[in-house]
Amino acid sequence: MLSVAVIVIPSIVAVVAILLILVLSAKKNKKDNPKNGKNNRKKNKQVELKEANRRLAQNPKDSEALQVVGRNHLEEGQYEKAMRTYDMLIELCATDKELDEFDFTLKHAIAALRAQHLKEAYKSFKLARTMKQDVFEVNYNLGYLEYKAKNYEKAASLLQQALQQQPEHVQSLKYLGMTLLKVKRYNDAANSLRKTLDLEPEDKEALFALGQCYYNLGKNDQALQVFSHLRTDGNIGPTAALYAGSINMKSKRIDQAILDFTIGLRHENLKIENKLELMYRLALAYINQQQIGEAINLLEDIQNMRPSYKDVHSLIQQYSELNRNESLQTFLIAPTSDFVALCRKLSLTFFPKAKIKITDISMHKSEYADILADVSTVKWEDTVLFRFVRTTNQIGELLLRDLYAKVKEVKAGRGICVTAGDFSEGAQSFVEARLIDLVEKDQLLGKMKQIQRKGQ
């Protein structure tokens, strides 16, 4: 019997000990479980809110209860209700000096901002700043609102103060950079935007603004890298494509510019202004490549969408004629070598029965060509200086004075100025007593027909 007791008693003790450990462990796990803590906090919050509403039913001006309700509205995203609650608390501050008017005003401002009542938010942040000027949340949000209102100098000052308190706050850095861009402080803007992207590399709005800084600083390679990267973005893409294409146009990379503008136009739901400008720039790129038909199609589409857009009407008139007249197209927009070759042929049409020997050809940029020729006829011999001007615009006196000076310099007997446009009254008066002949568009077209007939 004793031996049985010796065996059984320790066994019972061991079982009790194990059960006790399990019970204590379960209690500890229940206590330590984060979900249980969260549920408890939620339950406590509900109890607190219920009590606050009960008190408000008895006294609508119970400040403690209003604070509980206002805080709950903010946390739950009920910003309109939060604004009304903090309005009531701000009113109570007039009679109860123990209440924190700054805290209520700041929370009212935050609720208004999140509810997109920007004017109300601005007023409250402004008022909060008269109470305390060194609060980060006030300076940042007020700076952001000044930026949205295009008060850039005020925005820059406030955002710089916010960054003194939190130097690595991404949104403060970003909007400071975008503000400085607006006031043309491009180097400072670029520094702020680069810091933004170090902290938030995927912020495409900041990257686009950095590209604009590079563009305005003349750093076209860096700007082009940014805009080319952003061309396909759903929001910024069309404008980025416009920038990229414009940079490539300036650099004479016309094929690449055409690709940029085309990518921009592929975006869905394009804003009308972006669409018109992309189409217009693409048309100009096609003209540059002498793809006149494609350019006219685009220009006519623009005219259908907005008849008065830029100089589209005059471009259609001008290039429709070029599209029909290959010689005129060559005269105005072909590569220099083709233009000079045409001018050589044209110079031979002025004196049909004469012997003409071209002695010199020079180009002034891509604006006009000067051809010096010795002309010999049965009755006379002389040196003639031809100037072929690549424009459809009106030519004034200044260019003719330059031509007259060159006629004297090369000791030519006479000068002939040829244009696809016309001449001003001042230009015509200038040549009346001088040996310079003026050839306008209609006469030029007649000369071109002569060449075409000879070519047949």
CA distance 360 to 357: 9
Q: Where are the domains of the chain?
A: 220-324, 337-455
What angle separates helix 136-148 from helix 118-131, to the nearest 10 degrees?
140
pLDDT in tens, 18-72: 666 665 665 555 555 555 555 566 667 788 888 888 888 888 888 888 888 889 9
Q: Per CATH, which fold does 220-324 belong to?
A: 1.25.40
CA distance 48 to 45: 5
Say whether pLDDT at 151 is over 50.
yes
Please provide the size of the chain in residues.
456
Give the bridge partners for 374, in sequence order: 357, 383
Q: What element of type H or E holds 438?
A: strand 436-439
CA distance 271 to 234: 12
Mode of pairing for the β-strands spanning 394-395 and 422-423: parallel
Are the beta carbons of 287 and 333 closer than 8 angstroms?
Answer: yes
Residue 412 per-residue DSSP state: -
CA distance 206 to 175: 9
3-state secondary structure of 169: coil
Q: Which amino acid is at 251?
A: S
CB proximity list for 38: less than 8 A, separation 6 or greater: none
Number of Cα atoms under 13 Å in the Cβ half of residue 33: 11
Q: How confident is the model over 196-208, as a mean pLDDT?
A: 97
CA-closest candidate to residue 363, choices 387, 330, 392: 387
Give the bridge partners for 362, in sequence order: 370
H runs (alpha helix) in 334-410: 336-347, 397-409
CA distance 370 to 81: 79
Give the pLDDT band of residue 343 (cuts 50, 70, 90).
Answer: very high
Would you list the DSSP string of 281-293?
HHHHHHHHTT-HH
CA distance 314 to 369: 25
Are the beta carbons of 159 and 148 closer than 8 angstroms?
Answer: no
Q: Which two tokens stand for residue 149?
A: 């209102």
CA distance 106 to 125: 6
Give the bridge partners for 289, in sequence order: none
Are the beta carbons of 75 and 111 closer than 8 angstroms?
Answer: no
Residue labelled with tokens 């901002």: 113
CA distance 163 to 177: 12
Query: Which pLDDT score is estimated for 2?
Result: 44
Domain covering 337-455 in this structure, CATH number: 3.40.1350.10
What angle separates helix 254-265 from helix 272-288, to the nearest 10 degrees?
150
Q: Which amino acid is at 272?
A: I
3-state secondary structure of 361: strand
Q: Which two tokens stand for residue 330?
A: 């060559």
pLDDT greater at residue 45 or residue 188: 188
Query: Which pLDDT score is estimated for 306?
Result: 96
pLDDT in tens, 261-290: 999 999 998 999 999 999 999 999 999 998
Give the pLDDT band of residue 97 (cuts 50, 70, 90).
Answer: confident
Domains 220-324 and 337-455 share a fold: no
Q: How confident is the model over 145-172, as a mean pLDDT?
A: 96
Q: Which two tokens stand for residue 445?
A: 């077209």
Give the pLDDT band of residue 104 (cuts 50, 70, 90).
Answer: very high
CA-closest candidate to residue 214, choices 231, 239, 193: 193
Mode of pairing for the β-strands spanning 368-376 and 355-364: antiparallel
What mean pLDDT value characterizes the chain?
90
Q: How confident is the model over 113-130, as a mean pLDDT?
A: 94
Query: Which pLDDT score is estimated for 33?
Result: 56
Are the beta carbons of 136 and 171 closer than 8 angstroms?
Answer: no
Residue labelled with tokens 């615009």: 393
Phi, psi of 74 (to 5 degrees): -65, -45
Are the beta carbons of 264 and 242 closer than 8 angstroms?
Answer: yes
Are the beta carbons of 264 and 280 closer than 8 angstroms?
Answer: no
Give the bridge partners for 356, in sequence order: 375
Sign for the pseudo-dihedral over CA of 295, 296, 298, 303 = positive
The pTM score is 0.74
CA distance 15 to 333: 103
